Amino acid sequence: MLHYAVLLWGVVGWAIPSPAWLLAYLIAMPLIAVQWLLNGNTCILNNVESWIAAGRWRDETDADQGGFIAGVLYGLTGWRPSPRMNDAISYGLLAVFWILAAIHWIRL
């Protein structure tokens, strides 16, 4: 559930009409991207979930390991993007939402 809460925050957080909230969002979103990049395009939340469930930091048998967005897309549409497409979608969405937050912050 934590993963879905973070996903929801990432998708709608840019729309919150609070300068402090938007500034935190503008700082956090690039940090999420850097964390993915340094962690092999895998979210640290996946690693924590793997540690709890399997006792390993990286559980290669976990379909969501490095593919949470792909899993969400598959659940919603029946289409599972390739790992490369998943990465492009993930980083692209982060960029779009960051730009929306920056525009919103400037206009406040």
Number of domains present in the structure of the chain: 1
Ordered alpha helix ranges (H), 1-108: 2-12, 19-38, 44-54, 68-77, 83-107
Q: In this structure, is residue 80 part of a structural domain?
A: no
Domain extent for 47: 19-66+94-107
Whole-number pLDDT of residue 1: 79
Q: What is the pLDDT of residues 43-70, one digit of tens each?
A: 888 888 888 888 888 877 776 677 778 8
Q: What is the pLDDT of residues 10-49, one digit of tens each?
A: 999 999 999 999 999 999 999 999 999 999 888 888 888 8
pTM of the model: 0.83
Q: In this structure, is residue 46 part of a structural domain?
A: yes
Q: In this structure, is residue 14 part of a structural domain?
A: no
Of residues 80 and 59, more confidently modeled: 80
Residues 63, 56: Cα–Cα separation, whole Å = 14
